[in-house]
Amino acid sequence: MPFLVIIIITAFVFYIFYRVQNVRSKRPMEKKWLAAKSSMALGLFVGVFGINTLFVQQTTVSYIVAAIFILFGFASMIAGYKMYKYYLPFAQKEADEFNN
């Protein structure tokens, strides 16, 4: 499935992008906010990789591994989204204080 491969590559690129931004950031709330965004991207990568595995190989072992990847990937996306929503106001306030 070519569109799944495109999503996998895009999610991995966003994970690397947000992880590099996280390392370069000096503000603590912004670091947590960027970590949440990278967690969502990594979760999407792992989840879609699991979905792609379902189409590529059709064995019992690959179904089990794909199910684990899908569950952990989308659980990581949900946890990252909750962290993102939680830290967003703090990161905005921190950015406003930094700019003033």
- Contact of 87 with 40, CB cutoff 8 Å: no
pLDDT tens-place string over residues 16-47: 999 999 999 999 999 999 999 999 999 999 99
Domain ranges for the chain: 2-99
pLDDT at 85: 96
Contact indicator for 77, 41 with CB cutoff of 8 Å: no
Reported confidence tier of residue 67, pLDDT bands at 50, 70, 90: very high
Angle, helices 28-56/2-24, rounded to nearest 10 degrees: 160
* C-alpha dihedral sign at 48, 52, 58, 61: negative
Taking Cα atoms as reference points, which of 13, 21, 40, 42 lies closest to residue 91?
21
The pLDDT value given to residue 58: 87
List alpha helices for the chain, DSSP H: 2-24, 28-56, 60-99
